[in-house]
Structure 1
Amino acid sequence: MERALKLVAALLPIAFAFAFLVPVFDQGMQALGINAPFGLSTLTLAVIIGGGWGLVAQVTGRWI
């Protein structure tokens, strides 16, 4: 049980990025009428930005 909790706690930054940041970025871009470059959808760009930020937080242990 302790091992499972440690695993879940270790994956929280990346889970937060995909569960919260990606939808916020996507809907924010749609609400502001911002188009994604290179013919990407806003969701794809949000996954790249939010997932990248979550990955950085996962590796470094910080969000900023």
Structure 2
Amino acid sequence: MSRILPLIFQNLTFLFGIGFLAPLVAQVLERTVPSIATTPWPLVIGLVVGGGWGAIAQKTGRWV
């Protein structure tokens, strides 16, 4: 437990991108284009956008 907690805190921005931004992007896509709501593509796109944005924020230290 003492080794896992620092890892979580070091990668918190990436985890935020995956855990919060990815589902948010997927829900926005499902609401705007209802025909793709039954496919897995909104979640895949959300993971790419949220994970990418989180990884960039992790690397640069800034969200914007």
Task: Indicate conservation of the 8 Å contact 1:35/1:42, yes or no.
Answer: no
Unaligned runs of 5+ in 1: none
Distance 1:16 1:35, change over 3 A: farther
Query: Aligned pair count?
Result: 60
Task: Indicate conservation of the 8 Å contact 1:16/1:54, yes or no.
Answer: yes
Instruction: Give the equivalent residue in structure 1 for 2:12.
Output: 12
With normalisation by structure 1, the TM-score equals 0.77
Runs of 4+ in 1 over 3 A off after TM superposition: 3-6
User: Pairwise CA RMSD of aligned residues?
Assistant: 2.2
Unaligned runs of 5+ in 2: none
Deviation of residue 9 (structure 1)? 1.5
With normalisation by structure 2, the TM-score equals 0.77
